[in-house]
A and B are shown apart, each in its own frame.
Chain A
Amino acid sequence: MSTAVADQTDLVNWCDLDIRKRLHSPKRTFEFDVQLQTSHPRIVLTGPSGIGKTMVLRALAGLIRPDAGHIRIQGHTLYDSRGRVDLPARQRRMGFMFQNYALLPHLTALGNVGFGLRRGAWGFLSRAQKTEALRWLDRFQLAHAAHQYPHTLSGGQQQRLALARLAILKPRVLLLDEPFAALDPDLRRAMRCEVAALLETLNIPLLMVSHDEEDRVALQAQRVGLAQVDGRTVRVD
């Protein structure tokens, strides 16, 4: 794993964020002002809950729009308030895994993995695409469950399915939102290895929200802390 981290030298300044956003609610005003530039291939975002860590991931994925600033990943500008760039989520190729996985309940494991693949005129997967989908299911030990629906899978299987669904699309970065918090300790260790192996295979960086110092150590990640200072969420280290 350590060699893999060292190998990823093409990731110089892969992440260049300047996210400024102000949210108003009847009770309070929430201000967010975070800058992050890094070449470290694995980043763990930490900080007290409710501070907007998830918002960073959602801004990268294109699910919320900052008021100002820019988001550049691997040299691609996804958002720039000055250049008036704001790519829609579907063009960003961000490997964003939702905290509850957001698997589609009406589709089988195979249908979920193949969901993001570009369809032919009739909306079906080609034979090659199906083979590719099965290959990724197999990679995450889900080949036997290809025709099962998500609710019949265990929590660990669901998470692996969510990872497979992202991995098949070769995303530019993996964005995980407290992925291991809901798993039991054994499973947590197994999934950390799974994620590390996936990053190595795809050769992409990781940006992850986590409270668990063990996650950071196991994945050899750089810690980026967020905190509230004078009512604003800013980066502290």
Chain B
Amino acid sequence: MNQSDVLAGVLTPLWLSLKVAFWATLLSSVLGVALGLYLARSRLWLRNVLDTICTLPMVLPPTVLGYYLLVAFGSQSIMGRWLRDTLGINLIFSLNGAIVAAAVVSFPLVFKPARAAFESIDPQLEQAGRVLGVSEAGILLRVTLPLAVRGIMAGIMLGFVRALGEFGATLMIAGSIPGKTQTLSIAIYEAVQAGRDDMANMLALVISTVCIVLLLLATRLTPKRQPAPGGTA
């Protein structure tokens, strides 16, 4: 096998992985930040139940998640049929399926820190905004989000890395179609199975490097201890 084959064998799954991780993170960020904000404010007794359900992807075996996704979105299911017939989206053995799987596993990593970041904000700062005549939308954009942004960004970074490395659930729902759904982590598995060690080494090196860089970035964005807003008095 010549070098350009190895290069293509690395770059195609790397590109797929990045694409899947990008869209999955976007999806889980929007939903995770919104839910984090909602649960941080909610007084609903159901909120802890919701929190637990949303944390499940962190502890369940990825194969179980993949199986749930298959059951929920398979061509036999109501949801799967609706997606196919009205939106023309098929999740099974497709890139969209890989994106949904990666979004589900990265969701708790985005949602948890976002909720914690919102909960750590002193409610008086938002009240001060109201007293100063600022609208609720203005307070969200100019007080709440800026004060929570570091925690949110750190969570998004972690979610992205998790989505990048996603294996089990993706394999269950999207399979391993080279050039279509075969992401880096799945390509490594296939390479090892096929006894192509040079390929496996390259792939492992690439994904390790990408993850290390992203984690370093995430560490830099993790909230430092902020001085108390009230200061000394």
A153 to B233, CA, bound (A): 11
Q: How many residues of A are in contact with the other chain, CB < 8 A?
A: 36
Q: CA of A224 to CA of B193 in the docked complex: distance in angstroms?
A: 84
A101 lies within 8 A of B233 (CB): yes
Which residues of B lie under 8 Å from residue A101 when comparing CB positions?
Answer: 229-231, 233
Cβ B228 vs Cβ A151 within 8 A? yes
**Residues of the A chain whose Cβ atoms lie less than 8 Å from the Cβ of B124:** 98, 100, 102
A154 near B232 with CB under 8 A, answer: yes
In contact, A96 and B131 (Cβ under 8 angstroms): yes
Q: Which residues of B contact A102 (CB under 8 A)?
A: 122, 124-125, 127-128, 229-230
**Is B134 part of the contact surface with A, judged by Cβ < 8 Å?**
yes
Partner of A61, one of B131, B227, B230: B131
B209 an interface residue at 8 Å Cβ cutoff?
Answer: no
Cα distance, A61 to B130, chains bound together (Å):
9
Instruction: Using CB atoms, name the residue of chain B closest to A162.
Output: B128
A30 at the interface (CB under 8 A from B): no
Number of A-B contacts (CB under 8 A): 89
Max chain A C-beta neighbours (<10 A), residue from B125, B141, B231:
B231
Q: Is the CB of B130 within 8 A of A89?
A: yes
B143: Cβ under 8 A from any A Cβ: yes
Contact B227 A159 (CB under 8 A): no
Over the window 114-158 of chain B, the binary record of Cβ atoms lying under 8 Å from chain A Cβ atoms (1 yes, 0 no) is 000000001011011111111100100111001100000000000
A89 to B123, CA, bound (A): 14
Q: A102-159: which residues lie under 8 A (CB-CB) from chain B? A: 102-106, 115-116, 118-119, 123, 150-151, 153-155, 158-159
Q: Using Cβ atoms and an 8 Å threshold, which residues of chain A touch B42?
A: none
Could you give, for residues 76-96 of chain A, a 1 whenever the CB lies within 8 Å of some chain B CB and a 0 otherwise? 000000000000111111101
Question: How many angstroms between the C-alpha atoms of A165 and B134 in the bound complex?
Answer: 13
Instruction: Find out whether the CB atom of B132 lies under 8 angstroms from the CB atom of A115.
Output: yes
Query: Does A182 sit within 8 A of B, measured CB to CB?
Result: yes
Chain A residue with the shortest CB-CB distance to B138? A119
Report yes or no: A100 in contact with B230, Cβ–Cβ below 8 A.
yes
- A93 proximity list for chain B (CB < 8 A): 133
**CB distance B135 to A104 under 8 Å?**
no
Give every chain B residue within 8 A of A92 (Cβ-Cβ): 131
Complex CA distance for A90 and B131, rounded to whole angstroms: 5
Interfacial chain A residues near B130, Cβ < 8 Å? 62-63, 88-90
- For A96, the closest partner residue in chain B by CB is B131
Cβ of B226 within 8 Å of any chain A Cβ, yes or no, is yes
A91 to chain B: which residues have CB within 8 Å?
133
The reply to whether B131 and A104 form a contact with Cβ atoms under 8 Å apart is: no
List B contacts of A169 (CB < 8 A): 132-133
* A183, CB-defined interface residue at 8 Å: yes
In the docked arrangement, what's the CA distance between A62 and B228, Å?
25
Residue of A nearest to B124 (CB): A102
Is A150 a contact partner of B134 (Cβ separation < 8 A)?
no
Asked, given contacts A88-B130, A98-B128, A169-B132, whether A104 binds B231 with beta carbons under 8 Å apart, the answer is no
- Apart from the given pairs A98-B127, A102-B229, A104-B143, 10 other A-B contacts in the complex at a CB distance below 8 Å: A90-B130, A96-B131, A100-B231, A102-B127, A115-B132, A115-B142, A118-B133, A151-B231, A155-B231, A155-B232
Task: Tell me the B residues contacting A by CB distance below 8 Å.
Answer: 122, 124-125, 127-135, 138, 141-143, 146-147, 226-233
Residue ranges of A at the interface with B (Cβ–Cβ < 8 Å): 61-63, 88-94, 96, 98, 100-106, 115-116, 118-119, 123, 150-151, 153-155, 158-159, 165-166, 169, 182-183
Contact sample, A vs B, 13 pairs, CB 8 Å cutoff: A62-B131, A89-B127, A89-B131, A101-B233, A104-B229, A105-B125, A106-B147, A115-B132, A116-B133, A151-B228, A153-B231, A155-B233, A158-B232
